[in-house]
Amino acid sequence: MKSADIIIVGGGVMGSSTAYSLRKIGYNGKILVFEKDPIYEFSSTSRSAGGIRQLYTTDINIQISRYSLQVYKSFPTTMAIDGEPAEINFRQRGYLFLGTNDMMTSLAKQKTLQNKYGVPSEVLTAQELIDIIPELNIQDLAGGLYCHEDGYLDPYSVMQGYRKNAQKLGVEYISEEVETILTEQNKVTGIRLVNGEIYQAPLVINCAGAWGVYLSDKIGIPLPVYPLKRQIFQFDTSIPLKKQLPLTVDPTGVYFRHEGDKILTGFSEETEPGIDFTVKRSLFYDDMWPILASRIQNFESVKLTSGWAGLYSFNSADHNAIIGGHPYMKGYYMALGFSGHGMQQAPGVGQGLAELIYYGKYENIDFTPLRYERFAENDLVLEDAIV
Ligand SMILES: Cc1cc2nc3c(=O)[nH]c(=O)nc-3n(C[C@H](O)[C@H](O)[C@H](O)COP(=O)(O)OP(=O)(O)OC[C@H]3O[C@@H](n4cnc5c(N)ncnc54)[C@H](O)[C@@H]3O)c2cc1C
């Protein structure tokens, strides 16, 4: 019978950051990571917009993203392998929520909370927005919430950086699909693969992203989480912008940023839950482009160059991740439900889970607010700044 001390299901950014962090803090046991999609074609990490922000409305999310931002700043050197920097193309060009008059009180309140944790966010007037985006139409805007430290990065490279470092430290990746987690008398005993093989382990971490809820269902632990399709498009503009864009979120929810010379844009449209990767260009032409064109004149004449769909692991209860162990299923741990903000949380979450498992408690950030039990206890962590 094959066995391990820890099995991680899913080798995306969460599984890989957790595996690496366990090793980094000194865990020496055998760790196996099972990944069904070795080229990561459909994983959320490879399809992400890579926005990195500290602009959140809850204490815990601000703390996680502040921690993760520091990690990303030094990622190329700290994660270098054999002197080769782990480039992640982190462009600290800022993150900007544009605000209409009725949004400004809330944005000012958010700024106060963020500043308490050392985040240098600032409320800008409509005129000050022009300094950042000279072409911006501010007619209907009263200002915005801006953080110059934030920006965007290449999610796939982050994941590969964690994966390669984990492997270098002895973590083994196996390209197989886990059919189910195995349990006996309220404790985890291992996993069974789709090919029928069984691996024994006393501890299994569910990092299976948008698919993780189905694995949890199979062992009788339903979660208020479902996969939700999100689309991204890239286009060229005939007249380039004067400055590089921060990741900018329009009051309508349409967001945009530079990707090389192109513009990358996305929007959280109303859609049915489920695994769905179909791209509908009509979303761009009918819903997004009119908003983009009225916000920035240069976007009136555009050429759509590509588009793709990815999945949020969407927590319908409070739009936040579920982190930590299960109270009654011994050995079952989760990092799921990131609802579109997993990239900016991955370093902090991996470190937190590793601490919980190795030391039996959180050392850096207290992830208790994101525990599984919060749903039954009706102690939700409601995050308002969801993109
Ligand atoms: C369009 C889009 C835009 C986004 N934009 C942002 C953003 O700007 N900023 C931000 O912070 N976040 C963003 N996100 C969210 C972020 O990308 C995710 O939260 C993050 O990548 C989740 O990582 P993960 O490792 O949990 O999931 P994944 O990357 O999906 O990894 C899970 C892995 O588990 C594997 N797996 C699943 N089931 C099994 C099984 N049974 N056996 C073996 N392997 C299995 C899958 O193949 C997958 O590779 C965005 C997401 C999308 C889709």
Q: pLDDT digit string (tens) for 175-192?
A: 999 999 999 999 999 999
Task: Determine the average pLDDT of the residues in 86-103.
Answer: 98
DSSP assignment letter at 209: G
What is the overall mean pLDDT for the chain?
97
176 CA closest ligand 1 atom index: 43
Listed in order, strand segments (DSSP E) in the chain are 2-3, 6-9, 31-34, 51-52, 95-99, 121-125, 143-147, 151-152, 172-174, 178-184, 187-193, 198-200, 204-206, 225-237, 247-249, 255-259, 262-267, 302-315, 322-325, 332-336
289 CA distance to ligand 1 middle (Å): 27
Q: How confident is the model at residue 310 (pLDDT cuts 50, 70, 90)?
A: very high
pLDDT at 386: 86
Nearest CA to ligand 1 atom 4: 48
Task: Determine the average pLDDT of the residues in 162-182.
Answer: 98
Task: Determine the average pLDDT of the residues in 330-358.
Answer: 97
Task: Determine the average pLDDT of the residues in 264-279.
Answer: 96
Task: Determine the average pLDDT of the residues in 271-283.
Answer: 96
Burial, 110: exposed, middle or buried (Cβ in 10 Å; 0-12, 13-18, 19+)? buried
Task: Determine the average pLDDT of the residues in 283-306.
Answer: 97
List all residues whose CB is within 6 A of at least one atom of ligand 1. Answer: 9-10, 12-15, 34-37, 40, 43-45, 47-51, 155, 177-178, 207-211, 215, 230, 232, 266, 310-312, 338, 340-344
Task: Determine the average pLDDT of the residues in 147-164.
Answer: 98
Nearest CA to ligand 1 atom 35: 10
Token pair listed for 86: 């782990």
- pLDDT for 48 beyond 90: yes
All structural domains of the chain: 2-75+155-224+317-374 (3.50.50.60), 95-151+226-313 (3.30.9.10)
Nearest CA to ligand 1 atom 20: 342
15 CA closest ligand 1 atom index: 25
Task: Determine the average pLDDT of the residues in 358-378.
Answer: 98
177 CA closest ligand 1 atom index: 42
Residue 101 CB neighbours (<10 A): 11
336 CA closest ligand 1 atom index: 26
pLDDT at 46: 98
pLDDT at 60: 98
- pLDDT for 1 beyond 90: no
- pLDDT for 369 beyond 90: yes
Query: What is the spatial distance between Cα 199 and Cα 205, in angstroms, rounded to a whole number?
Result: 14
Percent of the chain with pLDDT over 70: 100
Q: In what order do the strands lie in the sheet with 255-259?
A: 121-125, 143-147, 95-99, 247-249, 255-259, 262-267, 225-237, 302-315
Nearest CA to ligand 1 atom 18: 342
pLDDT at 266: 98
- pLDDT for 201 beyond 90: yes
Query: What is the spatial distance between Cα 340 and Cα 281, in angstroms, rounded to a whole number?
Result: 21
Going from the C-alpha of 110 to that of each of 40, 58, 141, 146, 385, the distances in angstroms are 35, 9, 18, 11, 9
Q: How much is the pTM?
A: 0.98
